Amino acid sequence: MKKYPLKLKLSLSYALVALLLVASVSLISNLFFRSQFEQYMIRQQDSKNREVVSQIEQQFDKSTADGREQVLETIGVSALERGLIIKVTDLAGTVLWDATVHNNGFCRQMRQNMAAEMQSRSPNFKGAYEEKDYTLLVGVKQEGTVSVGYYGPFYYSADDADFINTLNQVLLGVGFASLLLAILLGIYMAKRISDPIARAIGAAENIAKGNYQDKIHTASSTRELDRLTASINSLSTELENQEVLRKRLTTDIAHELRTPLTALQGNMEALIDGVWEPNTERFESCHEEILRLARLVADLERLSQLEDENTDLNLSLIDLRELADKALKSFEADLLKKQITVSVTGKPVYLEADADKLRQVFVNLISNCIKYTPDGGKIDVSLSQNRETAAIEITDTGTGIAREDLPFIFERFYRTDKSRNSRSGGSGIGLTIVKKIIGLHHGSITVESELNRGTKFFIVLPLHCSESRHGE
């Protein structure tokens, strides 16, 4: 199937629409005008007939019987020059004056000429010679009848024909001018529409080649095109970020696996070569590294399960205050060791959720707070609710997170400690799991932090998760 440029299609569309509109308007205007003009000409013809009758009536009243023939001849000859054939009869039926008797050859020739001229000016015109009788009144007294013959129902004079032809030429000129204007306007509008699309196509092709720096900087006055360019730019930025994260993810996974594997390899080689004696302490060190690998694999498996589109929630009515208290009890030893003060504020908050998954949220966030809160610090857990949602705030007085790191803390294996110390920082996917669980509950999580001042996680959850799921 042959493809055509958008500019050509839009230009031709504008031209076609303009052509159809001009043709329709011209046709309708012409038909309407002709109809109205014909009615006007019929009324004019009748007016001319009555004018002649009125002249005869006026002169008939003023003249004597002997002078009437001369008066009627004068009026009749004048009417012949205007294309009217007059015959006047009295009440007895006696013909007082007849143009065909006066000059029959001229009358016959005039009718033939008028018919030929009308056929040449309007070939489809259905006309013929007609006669119309008018009562001859002198005052209120009827004196006879005036018969007016003419080519009817109307006749175009040369001036009338010129007027109609001029009008048709004007309509034709307007049509050509409108068509030209439509083509120029179509080209202009096509350029205005197609240029941003072409730029978006070019940017998309560059994105496909891996060039994420090519952004569209020109804005469009068309809302949809502006949204298209904004989407392309957003896609480019997001893919660029994902590319950076992908590379970092590869490095991070390699590092996460390399550290315990290197330690295990060194320990095993030392034991095999007899450098170390096989004792409980050596085996415990190897076992610790194996546990680190197991925890990493378990976290990855848990994240994979959460990202599965078919993941189901085991919903039940739970108390957030109770979940928070249970999660904190799991860290009593760590809290006591670092002398961290913990407070839980807020009344019991009941909502519909998956208890195990939300407990994981509390565990991951509190664990994160403990790791980065110095000895003697403080962790606050605040719970609240309104008619539709529940809110959880977890605040610590830890080391905080740098501003440039905040957009990425929920990404896999992203840790703010550049040293990649997994013993203090965990696997780097705990917050990713938290965000996935919150997303499954159709909630939201945000974070505020300042270096050396602490961090606050703010979570909002719907009270009725099942209704939120059905409302999608």
Q: Is the pLDDT of residue 320 over 50?
A: yes
Is residue 134 a part of any domain in this protein?
A: yes
Q: What is the mean pLDDT of residues 239-255?
A: 73
Interior/surface letters 297-335, b for 16+ CB within 10 angstroms, e for the rest: eebbebbeebeeeeeebebeebebbebbeebbeebeeeb
Tell me, yes or no, whether 307 and 328 share the same domain.
Answer: no
Is residue 24 a part of any domain in this protein?
A: yes
Q: What is the mean pLDDT of residues 281-303?
A: 77
Interior/surface letters 200-225, b for 16+ CB within 10 angstroms, e for the rest: beebeebbeeeebebebeeebeeeeb
- Residue 345: per-residue pLDDT: 92
Tell me, yes or no, whether 230 and 295 share the same domain.
Answer: yes
Tell me, yes or no, whether 41 and 124 share the same domain.
Answer: yes
- Residue 306: per-residue pLDDT: 67
Distance, in Å, from the CA atom of 357 to the CA atom of 165, rounded to the nearest integer, reads: 87
Instruction: Give the CATH number of the domain where residue 239 resides.
Output: 1.10.287.130
- Residue 69: per-residue pLDDT: 75
Q: Is the pLDDT of residue 459 over 90?
A: yes
Tell me, yes or no, whether 300 and 335 share the same domain.
Answer: no
Tell me, yes or no, whether 236 and 306 share the same domain.
Answer: yes
- Residue 470: per-residue pLDDT: 47
Is residue 204 a part of any domain in this protein?
A: no
What's the burial of 66, exposed, middle or buried (CB within 10 Å: 0-12/13-18/19+)? exposed
Which of 175, 200, 228 delimits the end of a domain?
Answer: 175
Please give the radius of gyration of the chain, using alpha carbons only, rounded to the nearest integer. 51
Per-residue pLDDT tens over the stretch 338-380: 999 999 999 899 999 999 889 989 998 999 899 899 999 999 9
Q: Are 468 and 370 in contact (CB under 8 A)?
A: no
- Residue 265: per-residue pLDDT: 84
Distance, in Å, from the CA atom of 310 to the CA atom of 306, rounded to the nearest integer, reads: 9
Distance, in Å, from the CA atom of 224 to the CA atom of 271, rounded to the nearest integer, reads: 68
Distance, in Å, from the CA atom of 459 to the CA atom of 436, rounded to the nearest integer, reads: 12
Interior/surface letters 99-113, b for 16+ CB within 10 angstroms, e for the rest: beebeeeebeebbee
Q: How confident is the model at residue 318 (pLDDT cuts 50, 70, 90)?
A: very high
Which of 149, 175, 201 delimits the end of a domain?
Answer: 175
Q: How confident is the model at residue 461 (pLDDT cuts 50, 70, 90)?
A: very high
Tell me, yes or no, whether 236 and 323 share the same domain.
Answer: no
Q: Is the pLDDT of residue 424 over 60?
A: no
* Residue partners of 376: CB distance under 8 A and separation at least 6: 338, 339, 340
Instruction: Give the CATH number of the domain where residue 403 resides.
Output: 3.30.565.10
Tell me, yes or no, whether 84 and 229 share the same domain.
Answer: no
- Residue 420: per-residue pLDDT: 43
Is residue 209 a part of any domain in this protein?
A: no
Is residue 447 a part of any domain in this protein?
A: yes
- Residue 404: per-residue pLDDT: 86
Q: Is the pLDDT of residue 95 over 70?
A: yes
User: What is residue 374's DSSP assignment?
Assistant: P
For CA atoms 135, 138, 144, 147, the dihedral sign is negative
Tell me, yes or no, whether 33 and 170 share the same domain.
Answer: yes
Q: How confident is the model at residue 156 (pLDDT cuts 50, 70, 90)?
A: low
* Residue partners of 161: CB distance under 8 A and separation at least 6: 121
- What is the secondary structure of 92-125 as a DSSP string? T--EEEEHHHH-HHHHHHHHHHHHHHHHHH-TT-
Q: What is the mean pLDDT of residues 414-434?
A: 63
Single-letter amino acid, residue 291: L
- Residue 393: per-residue pLDDT: 95
CB atoms within 10 A of CB 449: 21
Q: How confident is the model at residue 267 (pLDDT cuts 50, 70, 90)?
A: confident
Is residue 101 a part of any domain in this protein?
A: yes
Is residue 82 a part of any domain in this protein?
A: yes
Residue 281 CA: distances (Å) to CA of 102, 270, 284, 295, 320? 149, 13, 5, 21, 42
**236-242 CB contacts, 8 Å cutoff, 24+ apart:** 236/203, 236/207, 236/212, 237/212, 239/207, 239/212, 240/212, 240/213, 241/408
- Residue 307: per-residue pLDDT: 61
Q: How confident is the model at residue 305 (pLDDT cuts 50, 70, 90)?
A: low
Distance, in Å, from the CA atom of 389 to the CA atom of 402, rounded to the nearest integer, reads: 30
Which of 175, 206, 225 delimits the end of a domain?
Answer: 175
Tell me, yes or no, whether 334 and 433 share the same domain.
Answer: yes
Helices 158-208 and 223-272 cross at an angle (nearest 10°) of 10
Q: Is the pLDDT of residue 61 over 70?
A: no
Domain that holds residue 274: 214-311
Single-letter amino acid, residue 209: K
Residue 180 CA: distances (Å) to CA of 11, 312, 438? 11, 64, 61
109 vs 305: which has the higher pLDDT: 109
Tell me, yes or no, whether 154 and 225 share the same domain.
Answer: no
Per-residue pLDDT tens over the stretch 253-264: 777 677 778 878
Q: How confident is the model at residue 427 (pLDDT cuts 50, 70, 90)?
A: low
Q: How confident is the model at residue 284 (pLDDT cuts 50, 70, 90)?
A: confident
Q: What is the mean pLDDT of residues 118-127?
A: 68
Instruction: Give the CATH number of the domain where residue 109 resides.
Output: 3.30.450
What percent of the chain shows pLDDT beyond 90?
16
Tell me, yes or no, whether 49 and 158 share the same domain.
Answer: yes
Q: What is the mean pLDDT of residues 59-70?
A: 69
Number of domain units in the chain: 3
- Residue 58: per-residue pLDDT: 81
Q: Is the pTM of the predicted complex or chain greater than 0.75?
A: no
Mean pLDDT of the residues in the chain: 80
Q: Are 400 and 451 in contact (CB under 8 A)?
A: yes
Single-letter amino acid, residue 301: E
Q: What share of the chain is helix, strand, coil (3-state, %, to 5)?
A: 60, 15, 25
- Residue 419: per-residue pLDDT: 45
- Residue 39: per-residue pLDDT: 78
Q: What is the mean pLDDT of residues 305-312?
A: 63
Is residue 183 a part of any domain in this protein?
A: no
Tell me, yes or no, whether 15 and 116 share the same domain.
Answer: yes
